Amino acid sequence: MNTLAAPVGQPLARVDGPLKVTGQARYAAEFDTPGLLHGVVVCSSIARGQVLRIDTREAEALDGVVLVLTHENRPPVASYDKPYQDDDAADGSPFRPLFNDRVLYNGQPLALVVAETRELARHAASQVRIEYRQEPHQTDLLAVSEQAHEAPEPPPEPRGDFAGAFAVAPVRVECEYQTPVEHHNPMETHASTVFYQPDGELLVHDKTQGVQNCQRYLEKVFGMQGRIRVLAPFVGGAFGSGLRPQYQLPLAVMAALKLHRSVRVELTRQQMFTFGYRPRTLQRLSLGADRDGRLQALAHQAIGQTSSFEDFTEHEVDWSGMLYACDNVQLGYRLASLDVYTPLDMRAPGAAIGVFALECAMDELAYAAGVDPLELRLRNYSELNGNQGKRYSSKELRACYSQGAERFGWSRRPAAPRSLRDGDQLIGMGMATGVWEALQMPASARACIDADGRLQVSSATADIGTGTYTAMTQIAAAALGLPMERVDFRLGDSSLPQAPLEGGSATVSSVGSAVHQACLALRQKLLDAAQQSPASPFTGAGIDDVAFSNGSMRLKRPPYSAVELERIVEVSGALDAEVRVEPGEQRKNWATGTHSAVFVEVRVDEALGTVKVSRVVSAVAAGRVVNPKTAGNQIVGGVVWGIGQALHEETLIDHRLGRYMNHNLAEYHLPVNADIPEIDVIFVEEHDSVVNDLGSKGVGEIGIVGVAAAVANAIYHATGKRVRELPITLDKLL
C-alpha cells in the first residue's frame, strides 16, 4: 500500500521560513517575563588547581546586583552526590558546575552574577576577584600520547592476520595524520531562560537539540520530577553543541530556585569555547595492497583527547573496517586525558576526522600502486559492512561514483601531479568517499484532525535549522491527502510525545516514521467513523479500499463515493491517534548506511601557497529524500564545513596557560562566501524497504564526510605536496 505521495519528494520551501525572515521566530534568549533577572558567568583563568577565595564584595555592592552565586552559597543539588548522566553523556563523572573548589579546566564556570540587567551583570562579573592555588596542567595531546589508555567503547575486533598480510603486500603505505580541535560556533549562542512559576514549577526556554533530555536532566539533578517543562521551538544552529545540557542551564535553574525569580543566563561568544568541541586526534594508517591496488591489509590506529573526568568516545576508526573489501584489518582507538573540558559530538562525529585519514591514505595508495584514485575505490568496493559481515540494505555508492565523476569531468583529469596550470595557479582534482550510519531511534507522534479539517501533528523533536518542521508537515500531508497549508506540526516542547535527540541524521527516519504511522492510524479512525451510519457507502470497506486525497476520503471501487474529512469530523468530533515506532526487526539482518562521493577542484597560487576551492560535486545516496530542497541545503552546508575543516578551522591553545587563544569569530577562521564556489549536489536514486517505512536515510552528517580528504587530495594533485595535518594553511604548503 503506497501511503505517501505528493508532497513527499517535492523541493518545497520551509514552512517556518516566513517566521524566521520576519523576526517572529523566537529563540531561547528572546522570551521575556516581568521581573526577569540576568545572569553572567565568571569563568576560571587557570587550567588546574583550587579556588582559595572568591571575593564578591565589589560586585555585590553595585546597585541592581541581586546575587553572586558560587560553590559556597549555591542551593542544594539533589544529584551532586550521585552525578546524573544525560542522554548524550560520556563515560565517567559528568561535570557539575559550582560543585566544589576544584578547577578542572581553563574557562570552568566558578560564579554566576545575577542582576537587573545583562549589562550590569556583565560589569559586575568583571569585579569578581578569584584567588587560586595553581597546579601543573597538561593540555597537549602530543605530550601525553604515549600514556593514552584504551577507550571504553573499543573498535571492532581484528579480523584475519594484518601483520602477516602487510609484511608480504607488494604495495604499502604508512601515513600519520593530525586533526585539530574545532568548536561548533552556531549563530545562536547557548542560553537558558527560566520562568519561575508561582507554584514553584519551572518553565524553561533552552537552546537544545532535545527538550526531553534537558527535562530529565533537570528533574534528576534538582529532584523536581514532574515540575519542569522545557521549550525550544526554534534553534539557531547547533551541530551537536545542543546534544548535552550545557552549564548555563543548571546555573540558571540554581539562581531561579535560590531567588524564587525568573532568570536568564546567556553565554558570550567567548564562553562558547568553554565546553564541548571536536577533539584533536593523531591517526596512523597502514595499507597493504597487491600490484593492482586491491587491499590485502589495513590498520587504522587513532588517539583522541578527552577530559580528566570523562572518557569521550567517537567511532573514528570503525569506518576503515566497513567501507572497503579487506580480509585483514586491525583497528585501535585510545584516549589521552588532559586538563580540558570533555569533547562533544560535532557534525558527523568520528566520521568527519576518521574518514579524512582513511580517504587520504587511499589516495596515497592509489599513487603508490599507479591506479586512478576512483578506479582504486571501485576495485575495493564491497557490498558488505566488513565490521558486521552483513550486506547493506541498499548501497548505491557505485552510482554516486559514476554520476559524480561524469558531472565533475573526472575522466579529463591527468594522472600526474602538477600537470594542470592556469598562469600562476596550479590546478588539482581530488575525490573521496563518504559514509554515515542510517540510524533510526524509537519515537512517538500524535495526529489530530479537527472539525475545520485541519491536521495537528506533534512530537517533542527539534528543528536545529535542518527543516524538520517542513519535512514532518510534508509526511503528514501526504499520508492524509491534505494540502500543506492545512497541516500544523508542533515540536520543541517536552510535554509532547517522546522523541530522541535531534542528532545523528536520524530525525526524519525516527520521528518521520512515527508521524507517518500516527497519520495511518488516524486514517483508520476516519474510516471507522465514516462507517458508523448504516447508509454509509463505506460500510464494509477496508483501509486498502479507500484513498485520501484533496482533503477527502474516497472509495477506489464503485460507487467511488467521496467525503470531505471535515464532514466526518463534524459528526464524530475531533479524532486523534498517537503511536510509538521502534526500528523494525528486519534491520537486524542488514547493515544500513548512507554513502557519497565527493569531487573537488582546487587552485593553488604557486608563489603564495593560497588555496581556492573552485568546484565541488557531491553525489549522495540517502534513500528516499523527503524534501530535496532542504536536504540539498544540508549537503551544501556540510560541504562548506568540510572546506572549512580542510583549509580554515582550528582552535588554537596556549599550552602554557591551557587557554584557547582565538575564542572569537574574528580569529577562529571560518569560510565565507568568497571562499566557496558553486556546490553541485546530486541525489542518487536509492530504494530501501528495510531502513524504515519511509525508505529514508539522514543527510545532516553525510555532507561533510569525505570533503576535507577530497580537498587535501586535490591539493596534492595540484602541487605534488602531501599535507597530512589539518587545516592545510599556506605555511604548510610553502
Catalytic residue positions? Answer: 701
The CA angle 20-642-276, to the nearest 5 degrees, is 75
Residues in the chain: 734
Q: Which three cell numbers stand for residue 252?
A: 540558571
Is the separation of the CB atoms in 141 and 179 below 8 Å? no
Strand ranges in 527-658 using DSSP code E only, listed in sequence order: 546-549, 552-555, 562-564, 575-581, 593-605, 611-621, 653-654
Torsional class of 61: left (φ above 0), alpha (ψ -120 to 50), beta (otherwise): alpha
Residues 366, 293: Cα–Cα separation, whole Å: 7
User: CA-CA distance, 375 to 142, in Å (whole number)?
Assistant: 36
d(CA 449, CA 70): 50
DSSP state of 392: B
The 3-class secondary structure across 104-162, one letter per residue, is: CCCCCEEEEEEECCHHHHHHHHCCCEEEEEECCCCCCHHHHHHHCEECCCCCCCCECCH
DSSP for residue 30 = G
Distance CA 124, CA 41 (A): 10
CB distance 334 to 300 below 8 Å:
no
In degrees and rounded to multiples of 5, residue 623 shows phi and psi of: 65, -145
Q: What 3-state class would DSSP assign to 700?
A: coil
State the DSSP code for 131.
Answer: E
Q: What is the CA radius of gyration of the chain?
A: 27
| β-bridge mates for residue 364, sequence order | none
Structure letter (DSSP) for residue 308:
S
Rounded CA gap, 339 and 138, in Å?
Answer: 6
Alpha helices in 341-459 (DSSP H): 351-369, 373-379, 397-408
Which residues fall within 8 angstroms of residue 263, CB to CB, at 6 or more apart? 36, 37, 38, 39, 114, 193, 194, 196, 252, 255, 256
Q: Residue 337: how many CA atoms within 13 Å on its side-chain side?
A: 12
Written as nine digits, the cell of 53 is 577565595
Distance CA(520)–CA(516), nearest Å, equals 6
Place of cell 604557486: 606
Query: d(Cα 252, Cα 218) in Å, to the nearest integer?
Result: 11
Cα(346)–Cα(504) distance, integer angstroms:
10
